[in-house]
Amino acid sequence: KAGVTQTPRYLIKTRGQQVTLSCSPISGHRSVSWYQQTPGQGLQFLFEYFSETQRNKGNFPGRFSGRQFSNSRSEMNVSTLELGDSALYLCASSLGGRAIPYSTDTQYFGPGTRLTVL
């Protein structure tokens, strides 16, 4: 079974630009979560999508947005990039459904997309 894949793996952008990152979850997984990892702030939750709907949201500005498609693939977009947006962006997938007992579900993480903003 293929794992969570993220594209691209590395990205360099300049301030003011926008960027779109992609995440393909494990087959059958319907929940996709996004995290930002930086040396200063550590791992922080961005948002989570399930069945094309945002279910959870972290404390990030509106420049950070996401969406999920009917095949559960997800994208996140960052507009008007700032230097502080340089980070490793991690995507995680899980079954996430109401019928799945919480205790048996697990998030599986992708390798991340490393974004550098110059």
What residues line the site for another protein (CB under 8 A)? 4, 31, 33, 35, 42-45, 48, 50, 55-56, 58, 90, 92, 94, 96-98, 102-103, 105-112
State the distance between the two ends of the chain, measured CA to CA, in whole angstroms. 37
Shortest Å, Cβ 4 to another protein: 7
How far apart (Å, rounded) are the C-alpha atoms in residues 96 and 106?
9
Nearest residue (CB) to another protein, 70 versus 103 = 103
Nearest residue (CB) to another protein, 29 versus 85 = 29
Nearest residue (CB) to another protein, 12 versus 43 = 43
Nearest residue (CB) to another protein, 52 versus 105 = 105
Contact 89, 112 (CB under 8 A): yes
Shortest Å, Cβ 75 to another protein: 17
Single-letter residue type at 66? G
CB atoms within 10 A of CB 102: 7
Shortest Å, Cβ 52 to another protein: 15
Q: Which residues of 50-70 are buried (b: 16+ CB within 10 A; e: fewer)?
A: beeeeeeeeebeeebbbebee
Shortest Å, Cβ 16 to another protein: 28
DSSP-derived 3-state class of residue 110 = coil
